[in-house]
Every structure is written in structure tokens, then in C-alpha cells.
Structure 1
Amino acid sequence: MFILTTIGGFGPFISGALLIKTSGQSLRTWLSDIFRIRVAARYYLAALLIPIIVIVLAGAAHVWLFDGTVTLSTIPSVVVFPFYIGIVLLFNGIAEEPGWRGFLLPHLQATQSALTASLLVGIVWGVWHLPLLILPGHSLTGVNPWIYLPGVIALSIILTWLTNAVKGSILPAIFFHASYNVSTSYYLVGGSEGATMSLTGGSLLLAIFGTVALVLLIHYGPAQLAPVSQSIIDGSIADRTEHERERFQK
């Protein structure tokens, strides 16, 4: 089962690459654009720290409000954290983000606002994961879909900000994706694995991530969700976006 879900996890990446290739665009150019390393360090830092801070706050709130517990007994030692996050980077962030933020997001933003594009990406992203909620033995098994889907949409808004702020590179989004997944393993709310997405723990996460998304929307505006001094998309990605606009106008 693990092998099947791992292979299937690369579906967004493979789909994005195939669509780029079949549309006649350069696959190499696309990959070099979305995996551009030269990004301001503060965005890498934000990508790593935001999920950790939010999940720690959710854990603390759960203990305070619901007399819950936080346990580290079922997760690996902090010593293996770098190794663990490296694995998650490969099998989650790199597997998915080229499809979500590398392909779908810029194509939607060719005709939609950043907020609308974020909502659409979030819906697709969330629905794509829904089968895992009923798959036996998966970390998402039993997660409340009414908590999960709005949470994914909130994360989508935050990730749009990270991607637009660095002009199309998905590396901060990949780091955020990995940090989120690792952090939910290290800070288990309620004392059992998966409890971070229970009705209480998940509601707290949704509330805090939703607040972060709302602050970003208010500060940067729904049109581009990025600093005004920076264009949403740069270089050849901008060329592709313009190409998409022309296609929709025909």
C-alpha cells in the first residue's frame, strides 16, 4: 500500500509535466523556472517556521481549552528531524508542488485573481487527497473531511503568497509542505497519531491557519497576494501566462 500511495503521490508532478510537454512548451525551461533556487532566504525561513509555530500554538491551545495532552512518544527522535524532513521533501513536496503551484496555479492566475486561483487549487488539492481519508492504515485515515478541506484551502492561500512572492519558484512551497507534514507528526494533539485533524485539534489548526491566510489577504490584497513591488510571475513563466491569456481570448 505504501508503494502505491508513494507512486500515486507523484501524480500532480507527472500530470503537470505531461501537460507542459503536450502543449509544446519546453519541459526543461518549466523545471528550471519552478525549481529556481535563488530566492530570498526569508521566504525559506517562513516556509519552515510557519507550520511549526501554528501547530505548536494549536497544541498549546488544545491543552489549555480542552484539557488535552501533547505527546512526543510515538514519533522519531529530534535527532533524525533533518533526515525525516528530507524524505518528506522528496515524497510529498516535490511529488505534488510542481503540479499544484508549478503548473495549475500560474495557469489559473492567467485569467483569475490570486485568491480565486488559490480557492480552485485548494479544492482540487483537497479532493485529490480525499480517498486517503478512507484508506486503511494511512496517516489521514479517519480525518474529518469538513475540517480537512477548508484547512487545505487555507493552506492553498498561504502557499500562493509564498509562490507569488518569489515570482513562481515552488521551492518555498515545497519546504512549507514538508514542514507541515513533519510538524503534524512531531506535535500530536490529544495523544494519538492523527489527532491533529480530529474535530477539536483540526478545528484549532483550521482557525489558526485560516487567520494567517486572512492576514495575508488583507495585507497584500486578493488580486496578487504578493508584495506590490514584485510581479506575480517572472521570466519565462510570465511568457507562458501571457500565452494562456491569448488562448482564453481566442
Structure 2
Amino acid sequence: MSSKKKLTVKRLVIFLVISFLPLSMLIPILWAVYGEPLYSGKNEQLAVISYLTGVFGMMVPAVAHLITRLVTKEGFDNTYLGVHFKGKEGYWFAAMAVKLIEGWAGLFLLWAVFMKGTAFNEAYPNINMQNMGAYLLQLAASIIIFFPAFGEEWGWRGYMMPKLLELMPKPAAVIVGGIIWGLWHAPLTIAGHNFGTDYPGYPFTGILMMCLFCVLMNCFLTLVTEKTRSIYPASFIHMINNSLGAAILLTVFGSETAIKKVQELNSIELFFAMTCFTAMTAVISFVLFIKKDKSKIESI
């Protein structure tokens, strides 16, 4: 291994240690203090504590990015903090639109697969101008989530992925990066985030599902980040994914019957229903990302 690659490995390890430690230490402490899982406990105080913990956790990778650059004297070139529109408009548009489309498609899938015998307008009677206004307000309000989303993205896509891409081929880097990102969520998953604690194979099934989801998301997020050389499109994708998915659409537009039928699903069934279109986006993104740039080949 060359000295340059050794330095890249060193920087990556430092970044990952700093990224993983805070949640790995904090969540067990909070669990011990409150005597129940942070994200599936009955204590009312846990709602606020869990939200603050989530926001804190999302900011940690950005802090790890900053500290690693300072400690290893890496400097601040290639930080992905620039804004590059020219020739990249399609990727910026995809960052704004794809997750919104996935959310609506997921809502239709829930009806088609899990609400048989229920007419569409019976399942979603609240799709009207008033509730569309509420949805648009939610879209506007979700900008608050942009900042913690940026915290994760500047760490994972702005630092981890470039380092992995230096060390291994693109396909391997995308998969390994997604798995690392998924494992970073493990303390949250064990504490009931995303899947709760009442499902077959807890918590290992949940950790596995989170790793799978993160690999799928990493395909799209890495594509737009590397193509635009900017972290902001991925931050918008992350923001929309966390605040405007099919689950939120269901609560805004769904009837009591529809919501009840979805609540009858276990968390793993719901996960697969919600990630069907994420998987389609991931496959397209993966192909586009690993595809060789013909213009670069011709110039060699």
C-alpha cells in the first residue's frame, strides 16, 4: 500500500471513530437513565430527548469531518461546499424531485398491495386543496431538517465516500459506504428507531434492514454528490426523505381505515413497502455512477 493510501486509511479511521463514538456511548446511558428504549419507551419525556438525540447524532459526522481535517492537517480543499449548477441542472432537479415522487408512489403502492377491497378515494379521502396546502407547508417547514441533514451528508458523502473511492472501485465503495452508514445507525436501531423493538429477530433484523436501506440511499446520494461536486443536493434529498415520505403522506391524506390497515403491518413488511421505489432509484443511480465517462476515455 502506498504512503498516500495509508494516509487516506488513517484519516478515514479517525473520522469513523469520531463519528461512531458519541451515539454508541450516549444511547446506552439514556436507556439506563430512563429504564426503557429511547425510541419506543412510554415515558413522555423520551419524545423530546429522542428528537434532540437524533438531531445531535446527525450533526456528529460533520463535526468528525472538521476535526479529522484539522487533526491530520489535511486542509480544506475539495470540501464539497461549493455550488455548481452549470451542466449539472438535472442532478439538482433530481435532488428536489425524486424523493417527492417516491413518496407519492409509495402511497399508491400501500393502497394497491395492502388495502385490497378499499377504493382509492376511500383510502385517501383527504386529497384536496386544503390538505395539499398543509402538505406544501410541511414541505416548506422541512427546511429546518436541512441543517441536521447537512450534518450527516457533509460527513458521509462529503468525507467518507471520497476516501472510500480513493481506496477501492466505485461499486465496492458505494456498498461498503452504505453498510458503514447503516451500522452507524445501530445504536438508534437497537433503541427502537425506525422499526421499534417488537419484530422478529430484534435487533439484528432491524440493523440488517437499516444497512440495506443505507446502501440503497448511498447509491443516489453519492451519485448526485460526485456529479455536482457539492454536498447540498444530497442534503436536500436527505431532508425530504426524513420529512416527506409515504408515511407522512399517509397521515395527511389517509382515512382511518387506511391508517389502521398499515398499522397492522409489522415494521419489516412496512419497510419493504416503503423502500420499493428507493430500490428502483438506487439501481438507476448505481448504473449511472459506475458507468465510465466516455469523454474522459476518448481524451486519454
If the TM-score is normalised by the length of the shorter chain, which range does it land in? 0.7 to 0.9
For normalisation by structure 2, the TM-score amounts to 0.63
CA distance in 2, matches of 1:115, 1:197: 32
Q: In structure 1, how many angstroms separate the alpha carbons of the residues matched to 2:231 and 2:292?
A: 14
Provide the residue aligned with 2:237 in structure 1: 176
Deviation at 1:176, TM superposition (A): 0.6
Aligned partner letter, 2:92 = Y
Deviations 1:93-149 (A, max 9, x none): 11101110000000110121222111111111111112222436x566448614332
Check conservation: 1:147, 1:203, Cα contact below 8 A: no
Identify which of 120, 125, 131 aligns with 2:187: 131
Query: What is the identity, as a one-letter code, of the residue corresponding to 1:36?
Result: G
> 1:14 aligns to what?
63
Per-residue CA deviation, residues 21-62 of structure 1 (Å, 9 max, x unaligned), is 1121224x45xx412112333222201211111122122111
Tell me the equivalent position of 1:97.
153
Answer whether contact 1:61 1:204 (CA < 8 A) is retained: yes
* CA 160–226 in structure 1, closer or farther in 2 if over 3 Å, else same: farther
In the TM superposition, what is the alpha-carbon distance from 1:201 to its structure 2 partner?
Answer: 2.9
In the alignment, structure 1 residue 35 sits paired with structure 2 residue 81 = yes
Name the structure 2 match of 1:213.
282
RMSD: 3.3
Percent pairwise identity: 19
1:206 Cα deviation (Å)?
2.7
Structure 2 CA distance for aligned equivalents of residues 81 and 115 of structure 1: 35
Relative to structure 1, the CA distance from residue 79 to residue 205 in structure 2 (aligned partners, 3 Å threshold; closer, same or farther) is closer
Q: Does 1:54 align with 2:122?
A: no
Whole-Å separation in 2 of the counterparts to 1:191 and 1:123: 32
Q: Which amino acid aligns with 2:242?
A: N
Counterpart in the other structure of 1:235: none
SS at match of 1:110: helix
Which structure has the larger Rg?
Answer: 2
Residue 78 of structure 1 corresponds to 135
Query: Is structure 2 residue 172 aligned with structure 1 residue 113?
Result: no
**Cα shift at 1:226:** 7.4
Secondary structure at 1:109 match in 2: helix
What is residue 154 of structure 1 aligned with on the other side? 216
Quote the residue 1:244 is aligned against: none
- Report the TM-score when normalising by structure 1: 0.75
CA contact (8 A) 1:122 1:152 kept: yes
Which letter maps to 1:177?
A: H
Change (3 A) 1:84 1:229: farther
Distance 2:94 2:240 in 1: 10
* Aligned match of 1:199: 268
Distance 1:55 1:115 in 2: 27
Distance 1:198 1:118 in 2: 26
- Structure 2 unaligned regions, length at least 5: 1-48, 117-122, 128-132, 200-204, 252-257
The SS at the match of 1:38 is coil
Q: Which ranges in structure 1 are unaligned for 5 or more consecutive residues? A: 232-250
CA distance in 1, matches of 2:174, 2:266: 22
Name 1:239's counterpart in structure 2. Answer: none
Distance in 2, Cα, partners of 1:3 & 1:221 = 35
Is the contact made by 1:118 and 1:153 (CA closer than 8 Å) also made in structure 2?
A: yes
Distance apart, 1:3 and its partner CA: 2.7
